[in-house]
Amino acid sequence: MMDWTDRHCRYFMRLLSPSVFLYTEMVTAAAIHHGDAQRFLQFDVSEHPIALQLGGSDPQWMASATQKATDHGFDEININVGCPSDKVQSGQFGACLMAHPEIVAECYQAMLGQTDKPVTVKTRIGIDDRDSYEFLVAFVEPLIDAGCRKFVVHARIAILDGLSPKENRIVPPLNYDRVYRLKDDFPELEIVINGGISKIEQIDTMLQRVDGVMVGRQAYQQPYFLAEVEQHFNADRVLPDRRDIVENMLPYIDLNVASGVPLNRITRHMLGLFAGQPGARAWRRYISEHAHLGDAGSEVLVKALNAMPIAA
Ligand SMILES: Cc1cc2nc3c(=O)[nH]c(=O)nc-3n(C[C@H](O)[C@H](O)[C@H](O)COP(=O)(O)O)c2cc1C
């Protein structure tokens, strides 16, 4: 999730759930082409299985980014056809590409030629007034012909003009039935449903109709949810103690701080770890007040734990 997640966040999430499939935030093919590819493609080996999500519409750039991602060891390359932001539309990628499946299919084929890993697509269920099952199928079919077998579907349309990206994740209503219908009509596809999923019971219900679920905001804001999901699907796994998760982050933090990463760039992802628990506010407050200070290191987290009631 752009501006929210990064490799530090994923490292933390992996400690909470050893087996969820992690996705990077969208990285543009142009950034990998022109910029510091290493910065965008770096990840810790513990993050596997991990997909790189690419934004773009230039087949050559998408192909070359795919090749670099494959060399770096990503397990899947995902094309973003869901982001509604203006910046993204002016670059002709993201959700506006739903109107141009032929461009996405061309990118898809170019990417497939550069990797032995699955190339997948994340999309919305429609855009603007093209809010119909038929439009979704017309988008998906050329990609199926190009070889795509896995779609992650955010179960709302994107309004390209007039709504902010944030509103576009709230205002258009969720329509899970359209995603279920896609799976019913194309049973050979792997369909992953996304949007508004925050409860394990919801996941159980959805998995009766589709192959997977993707969780965004709930996983970021209440990261312990990932540990609960992990335990739900792996009954022999004991729910981890939140304090142990913090302890397990310390060596990683020490290493990164020593190499110049500001502490708060890592701890910002951990603020929600104790959400709903006694002391959650003290935890957040201590970190918010101390993690940005110049010489702050992992001791801030130890002190933040000490600032909380023992029962937490
Ligand atoms: C801050 C933020 C950034 C996001 N960035 C991306 C992104 O880079 N790529 C993407 O496919 N979706 C992105 N999304 C959308 C989420 O992946 C997801 O589709 C959406 O939030 C609905 O799922 P949820 O209700 O589980 O959060 C972002 C969402 C948020 C809140």
Instruction: For 142-178, write each residue's pLDDT tens digit.
Output: 999 999 999 999 999 999 988 999 999 999 999 999 9
H or E stretch at 15: helix 7-16
The full set of domain ranges for the chain reads 7-233, 242-306
User: Is the previous residue joined to 49 through a cis bond, with omega within 30 degrees of 0?
Assistant: yes
Supply the residue whose CA is at minimum distance from atom 23 of ligand 1: 195
pLDDT at 312: 45
| Residue of 152, 163, 217 with the most ligand 1 atoms within 8 Å of its CB, for mutation | 217
Mean pLDDT calculated for residue range 242-271: 98
d(CA 44, CA 103): 33
pLDDT at 59: 96
d(CA 206, CA 253): 37
Mean pLDDT calculated for residue range 80-96: 80
Answering whether pTM is above 0.85, one says yes
Mean pLDDT calculated for residue range 61-65: 96
pLDDT at 161: 87
Contact 151, 196 (CB under 8 A): no
Fold of the domain spanning 242-306: Four Helix Bundle (Hemerythrin (Met), subunit A) (1.20.120)
CATH architecture of the domain with residue range 7-233? Alpha-Beta Barrel (3.20)
In the predicted model, is pLDDT for residue 210 greater than 80? yes
Closest ligand 1 atom to 197 CA = 26
d(CA 284, CA 62): 40
Q: Does 84 sit in the ligand 1 pocket, CB within 6 Å?
A: no
pLDDT at 36: 84
d(CA 108, CA 102): 10
- How far apart are the CA of 216 and the centre of ligand 1, in A? 6
In the predicted model, is pLDDT for residue 238 greater than 60? yes
